[in-house]
A and B are shown apart, each in its own frame.
Chain A
Amino acid sequence: MTDPLQFEAFMKSYQNMVFTTAVRLLGSESDAQDIAQEVFLKAYEHFPMLSQSPTAGGWLKTVARNLSLNHLTRYRGRWRFFSEMSKEDEGGGDYEASLASDSETDRGAIQADQREMLEQALAGLPETQRVPLVLYHFEEMSYDEIVARLRVSMSKLKTDMHRGREALRRKLRIRMKDELEMEK
């Protein structure tokens, strides 16, 4: 029988990591909270094993990632069923337009809170760019693994990731420009 207090302590240790994994993939805090709840309910079922395991964090991260990707796949499938129009690039256009519109004010904000800006910039990317970037940079999956998991072609993946990185670069252009010049 699982001790609720012990499980609460376990959850407190890992809830930020699980929530972060989900929110970066999903781009939505409410969806991420639903997924995190699902992850911990599964963890509760396996708690006797997880509480003794040194790889509990990895297990939780993998479950959070898989549930988030399944969630995205499910809603994307429903959305596109009767739709001929691809929405993939709409978010990117809006995002870039927003960059152009507030480019001057960004400068101060980026310097003031670079991490928050980057987090917001990542969340603002369209799903087709955000998801592979998160899988590559945070989940440490290779291009081949991402292609297989997302069922997209390698060329589409590279295009999306390139666009995503470019969008982030534009958001962080001040600091990166300096660093790129230093590397030359």
Chain B
Amino acid sequence: MSTEPDPRLERLIHRELRSLPDRAAPESLLPRVMAAIRERQSLPWWARPWTSWPRSAQMVSFLLLLGVLGGLGWGWPTAWEAVGPVETVGVLDRLLSPLGTLWQGIVTAGGEAMAYLNAEGRPLLLMIGSVVLALYLFCIGLGTALVRLVLQSRPQNL
């Protein structure tokens, strides 16, 4: 079958399609939109889309985001290198020692977990990663199956 455009057919189809008037929008569209707008307006400014925030709030939030990203990207590796995992537990211990025995228990467990991770870390992390990945794929599969079930009633879209 030739699939090259047939100019005559293309012209006729074009003319027929272009002769179609616009479809009338459902009467419910306007009230729906206005209700959604009213609902949005009733929200505080920080709960609205970022693009509709006051300009000053946009600037401040943008600078904050840059600061956080910069801190994570540049400061965290430096701090981690300087302090190290064992020292980190020590620093946290000093900071939170007023919490008493509960924290001691957590510190002990944390220290043991750190020691275990140092010795057996890689296989354990691989195992945890595999379980997380398997659960993630399971969720995607389940979601896809549900979407498929829902969309079966609307075959014209597919």
Contacts and interface: CB of A to CB of B under 8 A. Distances in A.
A133 B37 CA distance: 34
Given A26-B157, A119-B23, A158-B5, A169 B145 contact: no
A91 B156 contact: yes
B27 to A, nearest CB: 10
A165 B144 contact: no
Contacts of A8: 30, 34
Nearest to B4: A158
Nearest to B156: A27
B158 interface: yes
Contacts of A12: 30
A99 interface: no
Interface residues of A, number: 61
A33 interface: yes
A155 B12 contact: no
Interface range on chain B (Cβ under 8 Å from partner): 35 or more
A13 to B, nearest CB: 11
Contact of B148 (A27, A44, A79): A79
B26 interface: yes
Given A16-B25, A40-B33, A162-B5, A118 B20 contact: yes
Contacts of B144: 78-79, 81-82
A150 interface: no
Interface string A11-53: 1100111111001101111010100110011001100000000
B49 interface: yes
Interface string B111-140: 000000000000000000000000000001
A7 B37 CA distance: 11
**Which of A91, A118, A137, A172 counts the most B-chain CB atoms under 10 A from its CB?**
A137
Contact of A11 (B16, B30, B49, B141): B30
A158 B17 contact: no
B28 interface: yes
Contacts of A138: 17-18
Contacts of A169: 9, 12-13
B81 interface: no
B156 A28 contact: yes
Given A45-B52, A79-B151, A18 B25 contact: yes
A67 to B, nearest CB: 14
